[in-house]
Chain A
């Protein structure tokens, strides 16, 4: 079973910030939060990951709550090309990281 819960769908206006939530209430102390997105008919694309501090890269920002039980992926200025399914995953960071367990993700639709 997936270890994360995400809303099935969200809409966002082009140019506005898209805030995608994820609940991971059973996260362990050695697990990172990863975000991927999948544009139709392509493989999942890595976006960002974090442990407990907020992270930012050229694609997005990741805000993790202090208790680490939830996080929010922020796309600061959404474009039509950001329309995709967004997956939130938790994975341990020790040497036995192994597989990723995906849920069904959030379908983000960016509208003009």
Chain B
């Protein structure tokens, strides 16, 4: 257990529905990252926050995706009008800016299946 938690761990939804995932980082960590991983591939970067500010978004983050970190603590990732291609593992990671190496620690992931 790294101290990063994600909920739910699994989600099955029908195409066209909206889904929301939550990530709780390690408590003192000020950076929070979202990644997506499809079967057989390494994780792909989606976006990251420093405190409550969203500093970078990948081109993978289409307009159906939105991420927030309103109080600089937990974060949510919402997918609107889900498509079958959204089926993947969604991973959250956190790190502490200000330490030289800023190691990222990952949560267990949320596995999404869109039917």
Interface status of B45 (Cβ within 8 A of chain A) = yes
Minimal Cβ-Cβ distance residue in B for A97: B102
Count residues on chain B whose CB falls below 8 Å from chain A CBs.
Answer: 31
B55, B100, B101, B109: the one within 8 Å of A43 (CB): B109
Residues of chain A with a CB closer than 8 A to B98's CB: 95
Contact between B2 and A32, CB atoms less than 8 A apart: no
The A64-112 residues at the B interface (CB cut-off 8 A) are 87, 91, 93, 95, 97-105
Q: How far is the CB of B3 from chain A (nearest CB, A)?
A: 12
Chain A interface category by residue count: 20 to 34
Q: Knowing A93-B100, A99-B48 are in contact, say whether A43-B106 is a contact too (CB < 8 A).
A: yes
Could you list which residues of chain B lie within 8 angstroms of chain A, going by C-beta atoms? 2, 4, 6, 33, 35, 40-45, 48, 55-56, 58, 91, 93, 95, 97-98, 100-109, 111
